[in-house]
């Protein structure tokens, strides 16, 4: 999965470099910027209890958002933003089709280090924390004409595994700036659990544009 994500990132970097053209705005250096983003993230739910863990893969997260970076000192920038995230999975087992969705808002805060490479290209290693507020979450199981829905935030439906509305996580990654455009790859994981035994991690791939 990581190799596939890296290949997508490399392709995105090449396409961005070809597309940037002659622009008066630039992502180069540590001058700060505002950008809009679109992203995709292969997503894994990890269930841990008594020293053992099980991972459930196959989730996909789609996101759109905005970030603003301001200079701190020398080559360091501070960045904050807001994103809307939709996590989705559909699977079929023994004639039962189950669709799971989770919708939330994420607020990341990062520190970036600007590494200008010349020719309008700058690399930005970054790390930071995020807070996530979950708005909706459900699973719908359908078999022929019958269906059953589960609300992840309902104790009646989930019992002791009811989901929490707010979690804190961290992210690390690398961005590349080309003129007006960005490409980004990173990893994010939960620090606090969304349920008693559940955390969510993602490999995030994104493209951004100055505005």
Determine the 3-state secondary structure of 22 from DSSP: coil
pLDDT score recorded for residue 19: 37
CA angle 148, 154, 157 (to 5 degrees): 40
Determine the 3-state secondary structure of 25 from DSSP: coil
pLDDT score recorded for residue 172: 98
pLDDT score recorded for residue 111: 97
Six token digits for residue 108: 């990341």
Q: How far apart are CA 108 and CA 106, in angstroms?
A: 6
HSE-up (13 A, CA, CB side) for residue 126: 32
Full set of structural domains in the chain with CATH: 2-17+33-210 (2.40.160.20)
Q: Would you say residue 133 has pLDDT above 60?
A: yes
Percentage of the chain lying above the pLDDT 90 cut? 74
Q: What's this model's pTM, rounded to 2 decimal places?
A: 0.82
Q: Would you say residue 20 has pLDDT above 80?
A: no
The alpha carbon of residue 69 and the mean position of all alpha carbons in its chain are separated, in whole angstroms, by 18
- Residues 6 or more apart whose CB falls under 8 angstroms from that of 124 comprise 77, 112, 113, 114, 115, 174, 175, 176, 177
Which of 93, 94, 124, 95 lies closest to 110, judged by CA? 124
Mean pLDDT of the 89-118 span: 95
pLDDT score recorded for residue 10: 45
Which of 34, 59, 26, 54 lies closest to 44, judged by CA? 59
Mean pLDDT of the 2-14 span: 45
pLDDT score recorded for residue 31: 75
Q: Would you say residue 164 has pLDDT above 70?
A: yes
Question: What are the φ and ψ backbone dihedral angles of 187, each rounded to 5 degrees?
Answer: -125, 135
Mean pLDDT of the 62-79 span: 95
Q: How far apart are CA 174 and CA 156, in angstroms?
A: 42
The residue with greater pLDDT, 52 or 3, is: 52
Looking at residue 160, the DSSP 8-state letter turns out to be: G
pLDDT score recorded for residue 30: 63
46-63 pLDDT per residue, tens: 998 877 889 999 999 999
């Amino acid at each position: 999965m990581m190799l596939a994500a890296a290949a997508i990132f490399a392709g995105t970097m090449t396409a961005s470099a070809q597309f940037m053209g002659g622009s008066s705005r630039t992502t180069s250096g540590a001058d700060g910027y505002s950008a809009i983003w679109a992203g995709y993230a292969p997503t894994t739910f990890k269930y841990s209890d008594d020293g053992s863990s099980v991972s459930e893969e196959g989730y996909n997260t789609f996101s759109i958002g905005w970030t603003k970076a301001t200079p701190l000192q020398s080559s360091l920038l501070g960045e904050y933003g807001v994103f809307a995230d939709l996590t989705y999975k559909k699977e079929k087992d023994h004639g039962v089709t189950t669709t799971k969705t989770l919708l939330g808002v994420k607020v990341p805060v990062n520190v970036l280090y600007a590494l200008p490479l010349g020719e309008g290209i700058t690399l930005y290693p970054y790390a930071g924390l995020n807070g996530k507020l979950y708005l909706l979450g459900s699973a719908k199981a359908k078999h022929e004409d019958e269906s059953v829905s589960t609300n992840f935030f309902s104790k009646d439906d989930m019992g002791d595994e009811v989901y929490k509305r707010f979690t804190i996580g961290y992210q690390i990654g690398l961005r590349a700036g080309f003129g007006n455009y960005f490409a980004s790859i990173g990893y994010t994981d939960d620090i606090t659990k969304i349920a008693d035994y559940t955390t969510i991690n993602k490999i995030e791939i994104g493209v951004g544009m100055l505005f």
